[in-house]
Amino acid sequence: MQFTTLVQIFMALSPALAALVGVDFGQEFTKSALVAPGINFEILLSADSKRKEVSGLALKTIGKDEIERLYGSDAVTICTRFPNACALHLKSIMGRSLDDASAVAYAQTHFGTILKESKNNRNTIALNINKQDYLAEELLAMSLADIKARALKEIAAAHIGAQTADDFAITVPGFFTQSQRAALLDAALVAGLRVAGLVDDGVAIAVHYASSRVFTEEKEYHIIYDMGAGSTKATLVSFVQNGTATTVEVEGYGFDATLGGHLFTESVYEVLKAKFLATNHKIKTKTFLADARAQARLWQAADKAKSILSANTEAKVAVESLYDDLDFKSVITRAEFEEYNAAGMRRITSPLLHALQGSTVTLKDVKSVILAGGSTRVPFVQAHLAMLAGEDLLARNVNADEAAVMGATLRGVQLSGMYRSKNIVVIEPSLDEYDLKYTADGKATEVAVFPRGSTVGNTTTVELVGIADKPFTLDMYENGHLLALHEFKDIKKDIKAVVDGCASAADVTVFATLSLDPSRIYDLVKVEARCTKMAETETETTETTDTKTKPKVRGKATRTLLGVTKYPNVRPMGTASKFTSSDKLRELVRKDRQRVELAIVRNDLESLLYSLRSLFDEDDIVNNFAPGRLEIIASKVAGELEWLEYDSDGAKLAEFKTKLAEYQALKSEMLLFAQIKDASLAKADFVELLSEGKNKTWNLQDYVMDLLDESLEWEGKFTKLGLDFSKESAKVNVEFPFKNNEMDDAMKHYLAEFSRINGLMDGSAVGVDETAFDDMTDGEKFLLKLSLEKMLDKIDGISASLTAVSSKRNKLLQARLARAIKKQKREEAAALEAETEAEAVVEAEHADSGDKVEGTAETKADTKTEKGKTEKGKVGKDKIRKGTSGKGKAVDAEAEKTKKLLDDFLAQMEADNAEKARQATEHDEL
């Protein structure tokens, strides 16, 4: 069934592709739902495809030190046989101490369970299972982790890409205390989850109810009556439409923390127990109660009978060998059941009446009483509600089992902001009162921080008057019960840091910030000292007329104060404890995976051995297998099957894998012989294969020689450019596929094998006559042919490897050669450019010298044409070259000077070109 709320989740999906899981954590059963991109918003099925599963798990001992964790129906089966291996129905003892009434009641109805006080002085409960202690939070974390694993499996099956499923929304009764809520959060953290919110049962059902309905602008009142296995809650809610938003407001609340299906099962159990003991007078009550297995089986029968009585007037009960090999058969009627519970009938309507107390709303203003929870199906429950409210007022328009989990998931979506959903505004008041008491110098002051009725999801700041720099304590209370004590002793240094920036010490005040978040967790956010009036600034005058303002402030305006937290009653898990528990769970998961893999490999080995044994009857294999070989394999297979049956319990995964690989190879060997009937084994076929093998070997040797010639050609090309080929070749990163003389040895081996087989065929081999080949069995010829074909395939593989390597090497060498040629051309161009520039300089220098020597050049200074200038330059240059300037020594000195300038210039150009070439080479190599 797809819920209409699928339409209201508009799936404006976040890029993270994260999923959210909603969990209705019930006393006896847990339901979960998944919302994720590309998946219908639906119930998350259990491992055995049920829409709900038992709350808890069983830890079955395997071998000496191993345990197997079982969930769902598998857990119930184990719990009936081994009650002390169970951890079921933990909800009522989460966050409770061992001496709490709920712990005492739990032990009385969970036979064989051993409750212990947790370590580290936390004053909480642990369960001793198979001589190993497990915190209640750890056991719940295992169940939550199993739900996450099923969610990830569902996501993987949908093929919608990688997603996470770390965000959870978990239902919680409105009457749960701070310690109980903290225990749920700790369990989720140990499981590696993020809690989007702890959602009140009634709020969850209300959100689900509103998600598929449209209301009016006038308030509409309903009572959500939720009777589950462990408790009964009645939530008065109002619905009103404000434009596109639907507002859901909690107007009242009532509850009975122990009235529910579990109590009804207990009553049936007591009736049946009394009947069994009355039938068997010799059995003493004390001895019967000492048998945990018998009580667990009778409880299971009572639970089934209770369900039958919801639809029938009587239920038959039959338990074989209940106690001391005695069978138990009986009948319990609905009248007996109701008579046993008659004294508590008023408890059924009490939560509903309490929900209306303190409100101006009366039962006449209520439009309907919405029934939720599996125990509302019990006939006398509905009858008593009808007596109070009237049959017409009882509404069965939500799924009693699944409304809470679907609503919790929607509420989780709202709180997390992961997706866009229907605009439902939830106004939820605090059902409890949260106070603060701070004490300094023996004077205590009490502050009502969040009175009953305060809106949850709120933060407030309280001024702690009169603290100054004295040590003080902060005590946090829930309904008058001390939750936590915070001690602030050494605060003078922190206070002084603030005082230094204040006008005076009197202007320093301490404030405490506290919150009541949407999960109704009451928390001390921070304590800080603040300066309410900063010191004034002073001015100083420098030597100039300017005035500078210099702050007097040396401290800080605020300073967070750090204290020590103590828990007088139940203490939540610390960070170190959470890490330890998380590591413990991860190790269990690792062992679970290893055990699953071992089971798979073991099954594969067993199947393989039986399939091998069936091959012994195949004629093609029996007739053609090597003599004696088949008997050896048959004996090994029989021995392994016996080992699997009797001696494999302690075997490790590695041993199973080794055996599996061994027998897979044997099976492959046997199956080869099944192909003999289709194989051509004539001598001519072998002659052809030998000829092909020799030709391939010789061709390969020729190819290797061609590669050597090719290498010489490359060496000539690189040498022509003045490069060292060995160095250039080493820079080509191509790995040769064979080491040292490996290829040569292989070729020699193949040729020797070809020669040996040829001698076998023509009788030329030592100790072999001409009929040796004809005397071989078909099986021997078949193996010989397989050997030849395998050698030919290897030669082909060598040729392919050499071809690939040669091609890659040639490409890389060609690239290096092209870069070398390009580099050489750049150098030649640079040299030519340098020579041209040098000649230009010489011409310029000679032109200047010619002007000085001629002396008469001034007579031509007024020549304006370019031609005249050029001619004058040429005349001067010619005279310098001929050494006929008329001033011999002066001209020679000038020429020598010019020559020196030219040499210096050419040397500098040569150095520059060398540097450019070096940089170009580095660039090419990069």
DSSP 352-388: HHHHHTTSS--GGGEEEEEEESGGGGSHHHHHHHHHH
- Residues 149 and 156: their CA atoms lie apart, in Å, by 10
144-153, 286-295, 610-619, 795-804, range with the lowest pLDDT:
610-619
- pLDDT tens digits for 619-637? 777 776 766 778 888 899 9
Q: Which residues, 6 or more positions from 432, have their beta carbon under 8 angstroms from its beta carbon?
A: 452, 478, 479, 520
- For residues 117 and 778, which has the higher predicted lDDT (pLDDT)? 117
Rounded average pLDDT over 77-90: 93
Q: Quick one: 204 exposed, middle or buried, by C-beta within 10 A (0-12, 13-18, 19+)?
A: buried
DSSP, collapsed to helix, strand or coil, labels residue 541 as strand
- Residues 704 and 462: their CA atoms lie apart, in Å, by 90
DSSP H helical ranges for 544-628: 575-615, 619-624
Q: Which of 370, 369, 409 is nearest to 388 (CA)?
A: 369
Q: Which residue in the block uniquely carries the two structure tokens 């006398």?
A: 380
- Residues 33 and 43: their CA atoms lie apart, in Å, by 4
Residue 870 lies in a domain: no
In the predicted structure, residue 778 carries a pLDDT above the cut 80: no
In the predicted structure, residue 1 carries a pLDDT above the cut 80: no
In the predicted structure, residue 153 carries a pLDDT above the cut 60: yes
In the predicted structure, residue 377 carries a pLDDT above the cut 50: yes
pLDDT of residue 850: 57
Residue 805 lies in a domain: yes
DSSP H helical ranges for 732-855: 742-762, 772-775, 778-854
CATH number at residue 364: 3.90.640.10
- DSSP strand pairing (434-440 vs 443-450): antiparallel
Rg (Cα) of the chain, in Å, rounded?
47
Domain boundary among 801, 834, 867: 834
Instruction: Give bridge partners of residue 558 from the DSSP assignment.
Output: 530
Q: Quick one: 1 exposed, middle or buried, by C-beta within 10 A (0-12, 13-18, 19+)?
A: exposed
- Residues 461 and 654: their CA atoms lie apart, in Å, by 62
pTM exceeding 0.85: no
**Cα distances (angstroms) measured from residue 791 to each of 696, 697, 743, 785:** 10, 10, 13, 10
21-30, 358-367, 679-688, range with the lowest pLDDT:
679-688
624 and 725 in a single domain? The answer is no
DSSP, collapsed to helix, strand or coil, labels residue 652 as coil
H or E element, residue 149:
helix 136-158
Assigned token pair, 626: 């090597």
Residue 249 lies in a domain: no
H or E element, residue 116:
strand 114-117
Q: What single-letter amino acid sits at 828? A: E
In the predicted structure, residue 677 carries a pLDDT above the cut 80: no
- The strand order across the sheet containing 394-395 reads 394-395, 366-372, 220-227, 232-242, 245-256, 424-427
Assigned token pair, 808: 């890659």
pLDDT of residue 905: 46
**Cα distances (angstroms) measured from residue 142 to each of 180, 535, 668, 793:** 18, 57, 44, 54
- Residues 172 and 424: their CA atoms lie apart, in Å, by 20
338 and 388 in a single domain? The answer is yes
- Residues 384 and 391: their CA atoms lie apart, in Å, by 10
Query: In the chain, how many domains are there?
Result: 5
192-206, 354-368, 852-866, range with the lowest pLDDT:
852-866
Assigned token pair, 261: 């299906």
* % pLDDT > 70, the chain: 85
651 and 694 in a single domain? The answer is no
In the predicted structure, residue 4 carries a pLDDT above the cut 50: no
What's the pLDDT band for 787 if we cut at 50, 70, 90? confident
400 and 306 in a single domain? The answer is yes
Residue 237 lies in a domain: no
- Residues 313 and 332: their CA atoms lie apart, in Å, by 9
Assigned token pair, 878: 């010619």
pLDDT of residue 75: 94
CATH number at residue 468: 2.60.34.10
Assigned token pair, 760: 């076998």
604 and 725 in a single domain? The answer is no
What's the pLDDT band for 228 if we cut at 50, 70, 90? very high
Q: Which of 411, 129, 380, 133 is nearest to 250 (CA)?
A: 411
Q: Which residues, 6 or more positions from 402, have their beta carbon under 8 angstroms from its beta carbon?
A: 24, 31, 33, 43, 51
- Residues 602 and 596: their CA atoms lie apart, in Å, by 10
Q: How far is CA 217 from the centre of its chain?
A: 45
Assigned token pair, 836: 């041209």
445 and 421 in a single domain? The answer is no
**Cα distances (angstroms) measured from residue 848 to each of 516, 696, 867, 901:** 97, 80, 17, 14
Length of the chain: 926
pLDDT of residue 277: 94
- Residues 265 and 771: their CA atoms lie apart, in Å, by 89
CATH number at residue 604: 1.20.1270.10
Q: How far is CA 115 from the centre of its chain?
A: 33
581 and 456 in a single domain? The answer is no
Q: What share of the chain is helix, strand, coil (3-state, %, to 5)?
A: 50, 20, 25
Rounded average pLDDT over 526-549: 64
Domain boundary among 804, 834, 864: 834
Assigned token pair, 449: 């921080």
pLDDT of residue 914: 57
483 and 402 in a single domain? The answer is no
- Mean pLDDT for the chain? 85
562 and 622 in a single domain? The answer is no
Cβ–Cβ under 8 Å, residues 35 and 22: yes
- pLDDT tens digits for 450-469? 999 999 999 999 999 988 78
Range of the domain at 482: 430-536+553-570
Q: What are phi and psi of 886, to 5 degrees?
A: 95, -15
Q: Which of 45, 190, 49, 62 is nearest to 594 (CA)?
A: 62
Q: Which of 22, 44, 21 is nearest to 166 (CA)?
A: 21
565 and 652 in a single domain? The answer is no
Q: Which of 193, 229, 221 is nearest to 28 (CA)?
A: 229
508 and 624 in a single domain? The answer is no
Domain boundary among 834, 864, 887: 834
- pLDDT tens digits for 308-358? 999 999 999 999 999 999 999 999 999 999 999 998 889 999 999 999 998
In the predicted structure, residue 106 carries a pLDDT above the cut 90: yes
- Residues 229 and 404: their CA atoms lie apart, in Å, by 14
- For residues 405 and 633, which has the higher predicted lDDT (pLDDT)? 405
670 and 816 in a single domain? The answer is no
Residue 909 lies in a domain: no
Residue 67 lies in a domain: yes
Residue 404 lies in a domain: yes
In the predicted structure, residue 14 carries a pLDDT above the cut 60: no
Give the orientation angle of helix 178-190 with respect to helix 575-615, to 10 degrees.
40
CATH number at residue 71: 3.30.420.40
Q: Which of 468, 541, 538 is nearest to 504 (CA)?
A: 468
- pLDDT tens digits for 192-225? 999 999 999 999 999 999 999 999 999 999 999 9
Rounded average pLDDT over 83-96: 95
Strands (E), 217-272: 220-227, 232-242, 245-256
Assigned token pair, 1: 């069934």
Residue 434 lies in a domain: yes
Rounded average pLDDT over 529-545: 62
Q: Which residue in the block uniquely carries the two structure tokens 């959870």?
A: 168
